[in-house]
A and B are shown apart, each in its own frame.
Chain A
Amino acid sequence: MTEYVDRSEPDVVPAAPSAPVPAAVTPADAADAARLVAFGLQPKLQPARDQEYADLLRRYREDPPFARLADAVATGLGLVVLEVSPRAGMAVTAAEDSVFAVRMGDYARRAATDSGDRFLHGLAHLAVAAMAFPRPEDLADDAYIGRVTVNGVDSFVRQACRRLEERAAEQGENTDPASDAPGLEAAWRIWHRRSSAGATKDARRLPGSTTGIVGKAVAFLTDSGFLQRTGDDAGGTYRTTARYQLQVRDMAGSAALAELTELGIVPVTDGTAALLPAEDTDDLDLVADAGLPFHS
Chain B
Amino acid sequence: MHVTSPASTDSVPPQLSAGPRPAPGPAADEGLARRLRALACTAPLHDLDARKANLAGEYSVYGMAEVALAAIDLVTLNMDFDTGADHEQIVARLIPRIAAQAPRRPVAEHERVARWVLENLINVGSVDRGFRAVYGTFAPDGSYVRRDYDFKLIEEVPGYGGSVYLRTTDEAVNVLVGALDTDVTSAQIAAEVKLDILISRGRLADAQLAAEQARYRTVQYSESLRRALDATRRNVRAVDWLQAIPDMIAEALDHVADRYRHENAILTNIRKARDETEDPGHKRRAAELVDIVKDCIRRHTQLQSRLLEAGPLFRAEQDRQVFATPMTTSGTDLYAHLLAPVLPLPVEQALRVTDAFFARGTGLRTPGSVRVGDLVDLLLTPPAEREHLGAEMPEPDLIATPDDSRFSEEQLAAATELLDLPADAPRRLSGLLAEARRRDPDLPYLVALLAVHAASPPVGTAYRQGEEKLLFAVDDGTELDDPEFGGADLIVGTALLDAAGMAADRTEAA
Contact = CB atoms under 8 A, between A and B. Distances in A.
Contact of B164 (A79, A122, A199, A208): A199
Contacts of A279: 333, 336
Nearest to B237: A280
A143 to B, nearest CB: 10
B358 to A, nearest CB: 4
Contacts of B152: 193, 195
B225 A188 contact: no
B362 A224 contact: yes
Nearest to B240: A288
B363 A94 contact: yes
A13 interface: no
A101 B361 contact: no
B332 interface: yes
A118 interface: yes
A140 B331 contact: yes
Interface string B208-234: 000000000000010011011111101
Contacts of A150: 158
Nearest to A176: B147
24 contacts: A96-B359, A100-B364, A115-B351, A122-B358, A125-B354, A126-B338, A140-B327, A140-B329, A176-B150, A178-B145, A187-B345, A190-B347, A197-B156, A199-B164, A224-B365, A247-B363, A259-B356, A275-B330, A282-B340, A287-B234, A291-B228, A293-B184, A293-B224, A294-B251
B361 A252 contact: yes
Given A94-B364, A224-B363, 11 more contacts: A102-B364, A126-B339, A129-B361, A137-B326, A174-B33, A186-B347, A195-B129, A248-B334, A260-B337, A288-B240, A291-B248
Q: How many residues of B sit at the interface, in one of the four size bands?
A: 35 or more
A270 B337 CA distance: 7
Interface in A233-260: 233-235, 243, 247-249, 251-260
Interface of A: 41, 43, 79, 92-94, 96, 98-102, 104, 107, 115-116, 118-119, 121-123, 125-127, 129-130, 133-141, 150-151, 154-157, 159-161, 164, 172, 174, 176-180, 182-191, 193-199, 203, 205, 208-209, 211, 220-221, 224-226, 232-235, 243, 247-249, 251-260, 262-263, 265-267, 270, 274-275, 279-280, 282-284, 286-288, 290-294
Interface of A is mostly: helix
B349 interface: yes
B161 interface: yes
Contacts of A290: 227, 231
Interface in B22-65: 26, 30, 33
B252 to A, nearest CB: 9
User: 3 closest Cβ contacts across the A-B interface?
Assistant: A122-B354, A293-B224, A252-B361
A259 B309 CA distance: 42
B359 to A, nearest CB: 7
A170 to B, nearest CB: 13
B178 interface: no
A122 B228 CA distance: 27
Given A104-B358, A141-B327, A294-B183, A184 B348 contact: yes
Contact of B87 (A122, A199, A225): A199
Contacts of A209: 129, 156
B238 A283 contact: yes
A141 B343 CA distance: 27
Contacts of B339: 123, 126-127, 130, 157, 160
B501 interface: no
B162 A282 contact: no
B342 interface: yes
A154 B158 CA distance: 10
Contact of B137 (A140, A161, A174): A174
A258 to B, nearest CB: 7
B146 A252 contact: no
B238 A288 contact: yes
A288 B341 CA distance: 18
B356 A256 contact: yes
B326 to A, nearest CB: 7
Contacts of A185: 346-347
Contacts of A164: 343-344
Contact of B158 (A115, A140, A176, A211): A211
A243 B362 CA distance: 11
B225 A293 contact: yes
B257 interface: no
Nearest to A78: B364
Question: Which one of B184, B225, B240 has the highest number of Cβ atoms from chain A below 10 Å of its Cβ?
Answer: B240
B306 to A, nearest CB: 13
Given A134-B234, A177-B148, A286-B340, A263 B346 contact: no
Contacts of B100: none
A164 B339 CA distance: 12
B342 A292 contact: no
B410 interface: no
Nearest to B135: A176
A183 to B, nearest CB: 4
A287 B347 contact: no
B238 A280 contact: yes
B185 interface: yes
B175 to A, nearest CB: 16
B349 A265 contact: yes
Contacts of A259: 352-353, 355-356
A80 B227 CA distance: 42
Interface in B361-397: 361-367
B505 interface: no
A46 to B, nearest CB: 16
B295 interface: no
A93 B363 contact: yes
Given A186-B344, A224-B363, A247-B361, A253 B238 contact: no
Contact of B234 (A104, A156, A203): A156
B156 A125 contact: no
A122 B359 CA distance: 9
Given A193-B150, A235-B158, A274-B332, A187 B344 contact: yes
Contacts of B462: none
A282 B360 CA distance: 28
Contacts of A292: 228, 244, 248
B158 A136 contact: no
B324 interface: yes
A256 B327 contact: no
B168 to A, nearest CB: 13
